Each structure stands twice: as C-alpha cells, then as structure tokens.
Amino acid sequence: MCKKEIKYLFLIVAIFVAACIETDIYLPAFPDMMAWFSSSEGEIQGLLTWNFVGICVSGPFYGPISDSFGRKKPLLAALGIFLLGSLLALFAQNFNQMLWGRILQGLGSGGCFTLGTAVIFDVFQKEKAVSALNTLNTVIPLIMGAAPMIGGFLNYHYGFRSNFLTIALFVLASVLICLFQFEETHAPEKRTSFQLKSILKDFKRVLSNLAFWQLTIVISLLFSGYIAFLSGTAVLFVVEFKMSKAIFPFVQGAVLGGWVLGNLFLTRSLAKWGSRNVKKAGTILCVFGGLGFALAALIAPTNPYFITSWIVFYAFGANWIIGLYFPEGMEILPDIKGAAASLLTSVRLLIGATVIGLTSALYNGTIYPLAATIFATVAIILPVLILYERKEKQLSTYNQ
C-alpha cells in the first residue's frame, strides 16, 4: 500500500471504531442497567434494537448526500449527531432519556458505517479494496472483541455509565481526527447533482437487483445471528445461568476470537484453495456451528461454555462468507456505490433489529428462543447462497 492508502486505512478505522464499540461495550452492563432503570429484559434489549432502527432510518440518506456533496461534510454531521446521542446516554436519568440517546447514536453511527464503506471504494480499487476490507476485518473485530471485556471491566469497577463515557470519548476523538486529517475522497467531477428523483431511481436500481438482495440477506442474517447471541446471552448467562460478570466478557471475547481466526486464515486460504472453495468452506463452517449450537441447546441447555463453543465455528465461517461476499455486493452496481452502501447498511441493521426484537419478545429465561434464531439463520442463508452461486456460474459460462 502507498502512503495515501495507509493514511486512509487508519482514518477509516477511526471512523468505524466508535460505531463498532457502541453496540458491544455496554452489553455486559445489561443486568445492572435493568436494575438501575427498573426495566425488563425486553426493554433493555430494546436499547440495541432502537439503536439499529436509528441506523436504518439514517443510512439511506448518507450515501446519496455524499454522492452529491462529498464524503467529509456528511461524515462530520453524522459524528456530531453521534456525539450528541452519546452525551445524552451518558447523563440519562431515566429510561426514556437513555432510549433517545441510543436512537441518536444510531442516527449518527449510520453515517460512520455507510460513509466509511464508501471511502474504502473511493480510495482503493476493487482488488485492493478486498485487501483493505480484510485488514479492517482483522483490526475491527479485535477492537470489537476487546469491547465487551473492557466494558465488563469498566462496569464491574466503575458502573455502567463508564461504558457510555468511553463511547463519547471515542466519538469525540473521531470528530477531531476527521476534522483535521480527513481529505475529501469523492472528487467534484464524480459527484452527481442532488435530485430526489435521481436518488429514488438509484434506490430502485439497487432494490430491484436480485443478486444484491441475495448477498444482503446472507450478510444481514449472519450479522443478526451474531448480535442476537451477544445481546441475548448478556442477560441469560449472567441472570439465569449465574455466570460471573467478571467472566462473561471473556466468553463473548471467545466468539470474537473465532471471527479473528477466520480473518487471519482468509488470505492464506484464498491463495491455496481459491475464492470459490473458501466460500464453500466458510458456508460449511457457519452451518456446522449454527446447527451444532441448536443441538447443544437441546443436549445441555444450561451449559454456557458448551453452547458458546459452537458459535465460535459460526463466527469463523461468517468471517469468510462476509469477507468475500461483501465486496462482491458493492461491485454489483459500481457507479452508485454510495446508494448501494447505504441500503446494504440499512437493510442489514433493519433485519438485525427485527431479529433481535423477535428474539427478545420470545425470551423466556431459556436458551431455546436464541437457538431457534440461530437455526433459522443458517436454514435461510444456505439455500440463498446456493441459488446465488448457481446463477453466477451460469452467467460466467454465458459470458465465456
């Protein structure tokens, strides 16, 4: 990588980091927040669900706006909203204030995800974009993996508000870095005029593309299963299974460890087996882990360690699937990457919010609703991937 590419890779990490930890760092604090706000398990999990809704609502706007006005100004606006929401959550005195803080955090962090992704494809060409994403898929999961452990430590020693103070400080750092170091990546000559009719037309192109929907569904459901496990077990393992709050963050960290291991082996596996075989292997590992998790829930429904061990396989396979199919999805419509990135982000988180909401509604103090969620995830992605690959193979044969 050249100096410019290394610089922007650092900046993209800075853009992503606050948005990534804001969903994970406070999960170990769920039981304490339930007690402080006198809230139910469903209401506390709703903080995560409504945060995703905020991201979904804002996501479709950031892409087209940045296609017209550049990436920097919309990014700074998103980070400003994110910071405001973080401060409101930090100082919330009742559940409603905390809820509005989380919604504002979602409205702001949606810009981080959408615009950060668009910047990757501004700065890096297709092949280098895959490499850059793989690098991010190593760095970001390490940060995400550390987040619940840091959050658990902070919550244990300083209370749940220390988690939201940490988020606010990271967002403030991102604002300052982007304000003084970020140089516009979307050249004026490549920008399109901001016309609602044109934007809706771009959205229609994306939403009517079958391949885009297939990959988005796969990526979204894998993400949903992963987040549903983290949020669901935050209460289940600690409250119902009586796991120590000091140990629980390491259990979550093990799941992230599976993701990181997958990423570490991805480049070497691609060189040895090729993209198609790595996709197959990732799918097999993901399905194996998901089905194993569902079976473990039947065999040992109160053993958190045995149950979690299967999700490690799921996370490993999910890394390979997302790492290869996400860049593919972004290149399906290369001339409107902003719209594609925003819709992919929004749909992914909308599905995530829906899945988590349904899992929370079904919560009954057992592992079974979560096991049903993970089982449904793998049951859907497997046929979707088979149909997508079959269609791509037909197109490849036709083009030859």
What was the pLDDT predicted at 189? 77
> What is the pLDDT averaged over residues 183-208?
79
User: How much is the mean pLDDT over the chain?
Assistant: 84
Closest CA to 64 of 190, 193, 215: 193
What's the pLDDT band for 200 if we cut at 50, 70, 90?
confident
What's the pLDDT band for 17 if we cut at 50, 70, 90?
confident
Highest mean pLDDT of the ranges 32-41, 164-173, 356-365 = 164-173
pLDDT tens track for 325-338: 887 877 777 777 66
Contact indicator for 217, 388 with CB cutoff of 8 Å: no
Tokens standing for 53? 């809704």
What was the pLDDT predicted at 224? 84
What's the pLDDT band for 126 if we cut at 50, 70, 90?
low
CATH H-level, domain 3-399: superfamily: MFS general substrate transporter like domains (1.20.1250.20)
What was the pLDDT predicted at 180? 86
DSSP states along 302-354: T-HHHHHHHHHHHHHHHHHHHHHHHHHHHTSSGGGHHHHHHHHHHHHHHHHHH
> Dihedral of CA 280/281/283/288: which sign?
positive
Domain boundaries, the chain: 3-399
- By percentage, how much of the chain surpasses pLDDT 70? 92
Tokens standing for 260? 């990181």
Question: In the predicted model, is pLDDT for residue 15 greater than 90?
Answer: no
Question: In the predicted model, is pLDDT for residue 164 greater than 90?
Answer: yes
Query: How many other β-carbons are positioned within 10 Å of the β-carbon of residue 157?
Result: 9
Contact indicator for 74, 59 with CB cutoff of 8 Å: no
Contacts of 5 (CB under 8 A, 6+ apart): 123, 124, 128, 132
Give Rg (Cα) of the chain: 20
What was the pLDDT predicted at 399? 55
Which of 209-218, 305-314, 352-361, 364-373 has the lowest average pLDDT? 352-361
Query: How many other β-carbons are positioned within 10 Å of the β-carbon of residue 42?
Result: 15
Catalogue the long-range contacts made by 213-217 (C-beta closer than 8 Å, 24 or more residues apart): 214/384, 214/385, 214/387, 214/388, 215/325, 215/326, 215/328, 215/329, 215/332, 215/388, 216/329, 216/343, 216/344, 216/347, 216/348, 217/351, 217/380, 217/381, 217/384
Q: Which residue has the higher pLDDT, 8 or 241?
A: 241
pLDDT tens track for 242-299: 888 778 878 877 887 888 788 788 878 988 999 889 999 999 999 999 999 999 999 9
What was the pLDDT predicted at 327? 77
Which of 17-31, 264-278, 293-307 has the lowest average pLDDT? 17-31
What was the pLDDT predicted at 36? 93
Residue 105 Cα distances to 48, 153, 267, 298, angstroms: 11, 23, 34, 37
Question: In the predicted model, is pLDDT for residue 390 greater than 80?
Answer: yes
What was the pLDDT predicted at 54? 85
Closest CA to 135 of 16, 255, 220, 310: 16
> What is the pLDDT averaged over residues 291-320?
93
pLDDT tens track for 71-123: 888 999 999 999 999 999 999 999 999 999 999 999 998 888 778 877 877 77
Q: Tell me how far apart the alpha carbons of residues 18 and 10 are, in angstroms, rounded to a whole number.
A: 13
